[in-house]
Amino acid sequence: MNVAGLARRTLMVLGLPVILLAAWWIASAGSTSPFWPPLSKIVATFPDVWTWDRIVEDVFPSLARLGIGFAIAVVVGVSLGTAIGLMPRLRALSEPVLEFFRAIPPPVMVPIIAIFAGYTGWLGKIITIALGCLWPILLNTVEGVRGLEPVLGDTAKSYHLSPWRRFVFVVLPGASPRIFAGARQALSIGVILMVISELFGANAGIGAAIVQFQRSFAIPQMWTGIIVLGLIGVLLAALFKAVENRMLAWYLGQRQIERGE
């Protein structure tokens, strides 16, 4: 990519955020409302609030819970989804149950999880995140495995690939575009649940920090928390995209050629 191309790309990526921030800055400049402080004040508060100590205390635990919950959802969703996708009988048996659980909004599960796992420690929060992330991954894996090209299955069979090799080299990569689509949905649900799970009985975490600021009328501080959340979202999306581009390079390349781009 040449210099002009790079400049144009940077402009494309940063253009809209800059415009929005400018709009916020101007619109809030003369504000005297305690709930709607000027952006300049929020920005000035930012370095005081988000010190390294606070990041270690609040951001890291939140991200760790998100990471663990998401990882559990990926492992369980992909393995269960593969099994259901490969076995028509198991699918027929489980489909109504899956639809039922999928229809339940994950935050509703919080009180139930709280009864069984408690909600002051990490366990209840991780379960909440994992359960919320599970459904999109599971259902997309089932579809991905079902949609596998039958000729590939025949090829694997006629070359005597063992079930294990078939899983690792044929089924999993074949379903991976759908698995990634599910994981992307799951990640945004996970971020939401990461915050929601901290609104109940937590003394550390980004969500907990935001609620504490709000309750103690530290409004500019509360706004900085929301900005931090947004930044985390952007960062996670970029990280996800990077992993996806690497793992699905074959798929993106193939699609590009098929579309004649």
Partner 1 sequence: MSFTTPLVARLTEQSPADAPRDEAVALDLRGVQKTYDTPGRPQVEAIRHLDFSIRKGELVCVVGPSGAGKTTLLRSIAGLLELTAGEVVLDGKAVTGPPLGMAVVFQEYGRSLFPWMTVRQNIELPLKEKGLDKAARREKVNRALEEVGLTEAADQHPWQLSGGMQQRVAIARAIAFEPSVLLMDEPFAAVDAQTRAELEDLVRSLWKHLGVTVLFVTHDIDEAVYLGERVIVLSNRPTVLMEDVIVDLPTERDQLTTRSHPHFGELRGHVYSLIQRAKRGDRPDAPLPGA
Alpha carbons 99 and 142: distance in angstroms, whole number = 13
Burial of residue 173, with CB atoms counted within 10 A of its CB: 0-12 exposed, 13-18 middle, 19 or more buried: middle
- The distance of closest approach from Cβ of residue 5 to partner 1 in the complex, given in angstroms and rounded to an integer, is 24
**Under the criterion CB under 8 A, does residue 181 sit at the interface with partner 1?**
no
**Under the criterion CB under 8 A, does residue 176 sit at the interface with partner 1?**
yes
Q: Which segment (42-50, 156-164, 222-230, 235-243) binds partner 1 by CB under 8 A?
A: 156-164
**Under the criterion CB under 8 A, does residue 149 sit at the interface with partner 1?**
yes
Six token digits for residue 40: 């300049």
Q: Which of 35, 60, 169, 217 binds partner 1 (CB under 8 A)?
A: 169
Best CA proximity match to 78, nearest among 189, 176, 190, 201:
176
6 vs 9, 67, 238, CA distance in Å?
A: 5, 32, 17
**Under the criterion CB under 8 A, does residue 189 sit at the interface with partner 1?**
no
Q: Going residue by residue from 221 to 260, which x/- string records binding to partner 1, judged by CB under 8 A?
A: -----------------------------xx-xx--xx--
**Under the criterion CB under 8 A, does residue 159 sit at the interface with partner 1?**
yes
Alpha carbons 157 and 149: distance in angstroms, whole number = 13
Reported residue count of the chain is: 261
Q: Which of 43, 152, 192, 237 binds partner 1 (CB under 8 A)?
A: 152
Residue closer to partner 1, measured from CB, 4 or 257? 257
Residue closer to partner 1, measured from CB, 161 or 227? 161
Q: Which residues of 80-100 are buried (b: 16+ CB within 10 A; e: fewer)?
A: bbbebbbeeeebeebeeebee
Residue closer to partner 1, measured from CB, 89 or 215? 89
DSSP 8-class letter at 51:
-
Residues that bind partner 1 (CB under 8 A): 149, 151-152, 154-155, 157-162, 165, 169-170, 173-174, 176, 250-251, 253-254, 257-258
